[in-house]
Amino acid sequence: MYAPAAGIAEATYQKHAALFVSQTSQYGQGEWNRVVQPRVDELTARAWAQYQTHLEPSVLTIRESIYPQLQRASNNAVQKYHTIVVPSFKRLLPHVHKTYEQGYRWTIEVAYPYTLWAGETGLTFVTRRIWPALRVLYGRNVEPQVSKIRERLSSYRDRKSLESIIEDTPV
């Protein structure tokens, strides 16, 4: 269903709109290059000059004062990673694998079969014990009341229609 509609849409686009879209795109790109891009380049140059004049000296000073601490922190982090994290990971990996295998085996061999058994047993209990009892209760208590209500509604409708016929009859 999608393919015929897409084919029709593509053919209609190629026939009626493709040339117009291409020309509009070329015109827009030309106007961008002629009008907007020089202004963007000028504003970029002015912003860069302002940065170099006012902010760059402060940024360089801060960078020079912070860089040694950052380098030390980075070296410490790398050293801790290689001396603590990697060995701990290597030591824990067999236990993680064993836990995963036991959990998988328990799920497949214990949880899944017992879940199926519980579902089947529950469905059997409902269909053999509860559903018949509900049907008997409905037949004894609810259905007679529903029948009485239907009879009263139909007699009420019949009386209303008789009254409307009497009212419509000319005297």
What does the pLDDT look like over 99-126, one tens digit per residue?
999 999 999 999 999 999 999 999 999 9
Q: What is the rounded (10 degree) CA torsion for 33, 35, 40, 43? A: 150
Q: Which amino acid is at 164?
A: S
Backbone phi, psi, residue 170, to 5°: -75, 145
| pLDDT tens digits for range 2-52 | 677 888 888 888 888 888 889 999 999 999 999 999 999 999 999 999 999
- Average pLDDT for 75-104: 95
**Residue 162, H or E segment:** helix 143-168
The HSE-up count of residue 35 (CA atoms within 13 Å, CB side) is: 6
What is the pLDDT at residue 3?
Answer: 74
Q: What integer pLDDT is reported at residue 93 of this predicted model? A: 95
Q: How far apart are CA 78 and CA 70, in angstroms?
A: 12
